[in-house]
Structure 1
Amino acid sequence: MPPVIVLALGAFGAAALVKLLARESRRVNAELDAARRSEEPEAPLSRRTLRRDPATGEYRPSDS
């Protein structure tokens, strides 16, 4: 088989593999995005403050 044909087959195979991997990564990212949207959003940690519990002396997140 001439080397040009082997190189062409290799290039077509590589292009098909890249296309397959790109499609799979888009599918996985779509699943992850849907899962993130369905989760309940949490309060950012920067907005939460700690208050000292006078009974135990431990610091706990404030309710507000």
Structure 2
Amino acid sequence: MPPFVAFAGVLGGLAVVRWAYKTAVRINQELEEMRLARVAEAAHMGDIQTLKRDPVTGAYRPG
């Protein structure tokens, strides 16, 4: 294989890896923002319930 073809293939592969990495980072940032917004909204509304131990069964239940 001619060296310039191999070099072009390596550059193309690096470009694909860079694009995939940037896309994964962007998607993870968007998901983290949505998760934090949902938690903040639930905390603001008081929807987050704490678990309390049932003295009879010993299991933890919402309440």
Pairwise TM-score range, normalised by the shorter structure: 0.5 to 0.7
Query: Which has more helix, going by share of residues?
Result: 2
Aligned equivalent of 2:25: 26
Mapping of 1:13-52 within 5 angstroms?
13-40=12-39, 42=48, 48-51=51-54
Q: TM-score when scaled to structure 2?
A: 0.64
Moved over 4 A (4+): none
> Given the superposition, is the C-alpha separation of residues 3 and 25 from structure 1 closer, same or farther in structure 2, using an over 3 Å criterion?
same
| Rg larger in structure | 1
Identity %: 21
**2: distance between equivalents of 1:37 and 1:20?**
26
**1: distance between equivalents of 2:6 and 2:62?**
66
**1: distance between equivalents of 2:33 and 2:61?**
30
Q: TM-score when scaled to structure 1?
A: 0.63
Whether the 8 Å CA contact 1:51–1:61 is kept in 2: the answer is yes
State the secondary structure of the residue aligned to 1:39: helix
Query: RMSD value over aligned CA atoms?
Result: 2.7
1:3 Cα offset (Å): 1.3
Unaligned runs of 5+ in 2: none
Of the structure 1 ranges 8-17 and 33-42, higher mean CA displacement relative to structure 2 is found in 33-42
